[in-house]
Amino acid sequence: MNMSTQETDGSPISTDVRTTENARADRPDETVVATRGLDVYYNDDQALDDIDIEIPENKVTALIGPSGCGKSTFLRCINRMNDQIDAAHVEGEVVFKGKNVYDDDVDPVALRRKIGQVFQKPNPFPKSIRDNVTYGLEVQGKDTSDEDVERALRGAALWDEVKDQLDESGLDLSGGQQQRLCIARAIAPDPEVILMDEPTSALDPVAASKIEDLIDELVEEYTVIIVTHNMQQAARISDKTAVFLTGGELVEFDDTAAIFENPSDSRVEDYITGKFG
């Protein structure tokens, strides 16, 4: 069974698991969010332990790790959603574009317009599709236009599917469409960063793949930080991956291809290959 006449194997190995465009990967990293010595406690329980990280602009950063490792807690620190949890206590700094978001003069509501969030379960308001999109702008006291609605819905890859039913309830959409509506709502105020906490875990594979495609487009304009339990999803869509392990420790943060091909830390190797977790 002679299958080739070429005996010397000069082909480069092809195990690059990243599917995002190489042009994006080659962009130099400009930090948009950085944490320094970040500790978070829920009462006396430490959820995050001395996290230092620099998250690059206009890239997708995935946060992975076993349940209870603090990755969602970390996400909520970035736009101060932890403020709403009485037991939570934050120490250290979260720096967004040079400013510590925990400084006294930072308005959390204004911060969340710049750092939007999409949750695990689609949570459109019981309002029309149009009102769901304009809600964030109206809260800011801004006038809204049809152009604003179209821009946000196009940005969320939903416009073509809903343009003729903008006054119908957002709750009548499918789960995947509802999640994209939530993304439209998040991008309507023109944020810089979008936080996503397991945004596809409640969706079927087709709807999930649409969200993944959308993330690939969103990152041209925004920085995306996504918590996911699906390691293959992290490998597919992210440029950088941060691995948190039990105890709230950030064990490794590197290019996604490096994490999934040759992690430096043996605990990360054990976790991503399923030897524990």
- With CB under 8 A as the contact rule, which of the stretches 4-12, 41-49, 74-82, 169-177 interacts with another protein? 4-12
Q: Please give the structure tokens belonging to residue 162.
A: 């809903």
277 near another protein, judged by CB under 8 A: yes
The strand pairing partners of 58, in sequence order, are none
Contact assessment for residue 33 and residue 263, using Cβ atoms and an 8 Å cutoff? no
Nearer to another protein, 141 or 274 (CB): 274
- For 226, half-sphere exposure in the C-beta direction (CA atoms, 13 angstrom radius) is 35
276 near another protein, judged by CB under 8 A: yes
**CA-CA distance, 14 to 172, in Å (whole number)?**
44
**CA-CA distance, 246 to 63, in Å (whole number)?**
13
Total binding residues for another protein by CB under 8 A?
29
175 near another protein, judged by CB under 8 A: no
State which H helix or E strand residue 99 sits in: strand 99-100
Chain length of the chain:
277
* Interface residue with another protein, options 2, 43, 67, 84 (CB under 8 A): 2
- With CB under 8 A as the contact rule, which of the stretches 7-15, 81-89, 185-193, 205-213 interacts with another protein? 7-15
What track of x and - describes contact with another protein for positions 13 through 52 (by CB under 8 A)? x-x-x-----------------------------------
Contact assessment for residue 184 and residue 132, using Cβ atoms and an 8 Å cutoff? yes
**CA-CA distance, 171 to 47, in Å (whole number)?**
35
205 near another protein, judged by CB under 8 A: no
Least distance in angstroms from the C-beta of 17 to another protein: 7
* Interface residue with another protein, options 29, 36, 261, 267 (CB under 8 A): 261
* Backbone torsions φ then ψ of 191, nearest 5 degrees: -75, 175
Residues 223-252 that bind another protein (CB under 8 A): 231-232, 235
Nearer to another protein, 13 or 109 (CB): 13
- For 212, half-sphere exposure in the C-beta direction (CA atoms, 13 angstrom radius) is 22
Within 8 A by CB and 6+ apart from 106, the residues are 80, 99, 100
3 near another protein, judged by CB under 8 A: yes
Least distance in angstroms from the C-beta of 248 to another protein: 22
| Interface positions with another protein (CB under 8 A) | 1-4, 7-13, 15, 17, 231-232, 235, 259-263, 268-269, 272-277
